[in-house]
Amino acid sequence: MKKKSNAVPVHYLVQLQNPKAHIYQITLTISQPLDQQTLEMPVWIAGSYMVREFSKQIIAISASQRKQQCAITQTNKSTWVVDCSNQQTLQVIYQVYARDNSVRTAWLDMQRGFLNGTSLLMRAPQLAHQPHYITFESNKSLGNWKLATGLKPLKIDAKGFGQYTAQDYDEFVDCPVEMGDFWSGQFTVRGVTHRFVVAGAPPTMDGERLLQDTQKICETAIRMWHKNGKPPHKNYLFMLNAVSDGYGGLEHRNSTALICKRADLPRKGAIKASDGYITLLGLISHEYFHTWNVKRLRPTEFETYDYAQENYTRLLWFFEGFTSYYDDLIVRRANLITNAQYIQLINKTIHQVFQTPGRHIHTVAQSSFEAWTKYYRADENTPNMTVSYYTKGALIAMCLDLKLQVAGHNLDEVMRALWKKCSAGPMSEQDLLDVLKTLTGHSWKRDIQSWVHSTDELPVLSLLQIHGVQVHHEGEPLAQQLGMRVNESNGIQIKTVLSNSPCEKAGFAPGDEWIGIEITEKKNRVPAMWRISKLDDLLILVGPDHQVTALISRDQKILKLPINLQAPKTKPHIKLSIENISKLESWLVNT
């Protein structure tokens, strides 16, 4: 009988080899490799639907057994095969360049370290379902650095460095790591410890307020999903990177990586929450809600991840869109914003959808499927080609919630029923339809078909009016009337030209600089030229009896483009207000 080995099957040693050069060194040890051991570097990270080619940052790779070098053959952009023996432990050493200060990849310098496993840790596919172990080695030159991660600790020091484990590779790379001299605090909800760490926190940050407000968000989310029960995670970690300019988040099963402007953090002594801080609270709420909606309850296509290529689903409108509906709603239910502030946030989402011509040609299901090539590879023409599954998905969730409440139900019931029906695991669109029919007694297939699989307009305005919200129609902003999106910080720079707009018909193009206008009065035909620095100059200089030619700078050439400033408005601008507070609060707080 062969004696069982007590050796760790897969172990990684992560060393902060050269922070000044932004280089990690990884030592991968496999106790019982195959004769021809395959190693793969992921090409994407779950939750961010874009092929990022993490292997491009590998600097060097070598392999050995008992100090004897093994031949390594690269078979494609992200796969290597090591010629080795299955009778000896295999050791693979490689370096990774890490200087992407986002939530998706990895970073290392003298001030901070951060990593996602998909950016640094090669995968042995035949061993992916076995327990994985990792040791983080501290670097004495980095002073008082600490380490925080959602991985299960085995043997660590007071600062968090040492050995951790995960049940398989999926869990392993779903627990990012924050390192540095960060601020840290914690709170408990339903017996679950929640830790919050902030890198780059200024001395003016009100850490206590951040903890208190985040705790309210977590309590509200857990109550929505489980009423009086406990959440599925045994601990949770918020990792926030505060920078001069940045925003974003990425969800994980028991943690999240966030990035925000330092100016958006709560400040000591400030009573009123800034708009930036309200946005940050919405981000915190969004990523925490993902703990249930996409990390556990998830598309059937994501039952297992294929890290070597795109993983397609048509359900991002549900998993990102519904989460986008609940993020600000939970902030409101936690009493961190007022009804009026919440209505303003809804107003903003409606504008983002209504001002996107792509919604007329691309369904939100198509948008979900093509996220890899359209949403995550956006360019100046993206608004004309597609619609965001975040914003339109949020409005679909709102329409469903408001229509359910007319029938005496609500979306919270649907989410809890889906959690139960799908055993907190893979779900399909049919599961949603089944739950809706069971709950209400009738089919919702026609509604979902219209809202999700067609380009029909959503009944969001009529449903809001039923629930105490008044809809006002105003004139559109000038940029929207003309059909452009601009940057006016240094002159008028054209970023996007919208389909079927006066600007498109005149021949404007992204990248143009609008430097002036030539005005001709219809009566005397005497032209006058004016330099303009902002769009509002048009309101001062151009009257109803004037014909206008735009003076455009394109590739150093000056072009004259006649434009019709009196073109029909494409759609009235929407402004929401509260009409019936009782009806509104019945919707907002009803769980």
Give 310-352 pLDDT, tens digit per residue.
Answer: 999 999 999 999 999 999 999 999 999 999 999 999 999 999 9
Task: Determine the average pLDDT of the residues in 518-540.
Answer: 87
- Whether residue 306 is contained in a domain is answered as no
Among residues 218, 215, 295, which one has the least CA distance to residue 253? Answer: 295
Task: Determine the average pLDDT of the residues in 439-461.
Answer: 98
Rounded CA separation 439/457 (Å): 26
Q: What is the dihedral of CA 434, 436, 437, 438, to 10 degrees?
A: 80
- Whether residue 4 is contained in a domain is answered as no
Residue-averaged pLDDT of the chain: 95
Q: Are residues 213 and 158 in the same domain?
A: no
Rounded CA separation 242/387 (Å): 30
Q: Tell whether the torsion through CA atoms of 355, 464, 437 and 286 is positive or negative.
A: positive
- Check residue 437 and give its pLDDT: 98
List beta partners, residue 24: 96
- Check residue 399 and give its pLDDT: 98
Contact 221, 241 (CB under 8 A): no
Rounded CA separation 180/435 (Å): 46
What per-residue string of b and e applies to 300-323 under the rule 16 or more CB within 10 Å gives b? eebeebebbeebebbbbbbbbbbb
pLDDT band at 521 (very low <50, low <70, confident <90, very high): confident
- Whether residue 302 is contained in a domain is answered as no
Task: Determine the average pLDDT of the residues in 57-65.
Answer: 97
Structure tokens at 536: 């509002």
Q: Are residues 379 and 452 in the same domain?
A: yes
Query: Residue 443 sits in a domain of what CATH number?
Result: 1.10.390.10
In degrees, rounded to 5, the angle at the alpha carbon of residue 548 between the alpha carbons of residues 545 and 551 is: 160
- Whether residue 299 is contained in a domain is answered as no
Phi/psi of residue 95, nearest 5 degrees? -115, 150
- Check residue 1 and give its pLDDT: 36
What are the DSSP E strand ranges found in 175-325?
A: 177-180, 183-189, 192-199, 235-243, 248-251, 255-261, 298-299
pLDDT (tens digit per residue) in 123-152: 999 999 999 999 999 999 998 999 999 999
Rounded CA separation 462/395 (Å): 13
pLDDT band at 535 (very low <50, low <70, confident <90, very high): very high
Q: Are residues 146 and 15 in the same domain?
A: yes
Q: Are residues 459 and 364 in the same domain?
A: yes
Q: Parallel, antiparallel, or unpaired for β 235-243 and 255-261?
A: parallel
Q: Are residues 432 and 448 in the same domain?
A: yes
- Check residue 573 and give its pLDDT: 86
Number of domains in the chain: 4
Q: What is the dihedral of CA 68, 69, 75, 79, to 10 degrees?
A: 80
Q: Are residues 16 and 81 in the same domain?
A: yes
Rounded CA separation 182/198 (Å): 6
**pTM, 2 dp:** 0.95
Contact 574, 347 (CB under 8 A): yes
Query: Residue 65 sits in a domain of what CATH number?
Result: 2.60.40.3650
Q: Are residues 15 and 59 in the same domain?
A: yes
Q: Which residue has tokens 């000044």?
A: 20
Helix 207-226 and helix 411-421, axial crossing angle in degrees, nearest 10:
70
- Check residue 526 and give its pLDDT: 74
Give the amino acid at 136. Answer: F
More reliable by pLDDT, 436 or 528: 436
Q: Are residues 28 and 91 in the same domain?
A: yes
Its domain, for residue 408, covers 312-476+579-591
pLDDT (tens digit per residue) in 484-501: 999 999 999 999 999 999
Q: Are residues 450 and 331 in the same domain?
A: yes
